[in-house]
Amino acid sequence: MDDMLLWTLVSAVATVMTALTGVIFWLLSQHNQAKTEKAEFYVEFTRRYNSSDMHDALYRLMQHYTQNPDNFVELYLSEFLSHTQKGFEIERSRRIVSRYFNDIAEMRQNRLIDRKLARMLCNFQGLNIYYNVVVPMSRARYGNSKTRERIYAALRAIRPHFDDGGFGLSIAPGTTEKRL
């Protein structure tokens, strides 16, 4: 009788261990799959940043800013409201850069991506162009709407600036000195 009880107990323990091992391997598999999906999402999303449209947009915005550092917003609005080709090109550039970074903030606000992935997606020099050029232009175009300000604040909470805050042309955070 004692042998029978012992074997039943051993069998039950072995069954539980097998089930636990299965659950652990399933959890590890799910974790690895989630990491793979995040990596694929990162690569796919950053293709937008690495596109020639984004490159041209960032370049055009930097050029507009460096040519008019003291009144780049006013000149943008004037060109845009006058329906000039230059105004159209600057507006298109503003929208391309704005959408990339605003999408990151909105995905993070809606918990579609975690903070680490959001920070990685913002880890580009263009983030400083967004803050120093695009945001002032967007505020001038649309006003200081609460929705837009929440997006800007959400993005600043994710990453307040790239590297030293400059893009070789901008004003460094906390200073008034223009760097060229």
Going residue by residue through the chain (180 aa), what tens digit of pLDDT does each one get?
577 877 888 788 778 787 777 777 777 777 667 778 888 988 999 999 999 999 999 999 999 999 999 999 999 999 999 999 999 999 999 999 999 999 999 999 999 999 999 999 998 889 999 999 999 999 999 988 899 999 999 999 999 988 765 555 444 444 444 443
Q: In angstroms, rounded to a whole number, what is the distance separating the alpha carbons of residues 104 and 113?
A: 8
Q: Domain locations in the chain? A: 37-158
Q: In angstroms, rounded to a whole number, what is the distance separating the alpha carbons of residues 56 and 128?
A: 16
Q: In angstroms, rounded to a whole number, what is the distance separating the alpha carbons of residues 17 and 157?
A: 45
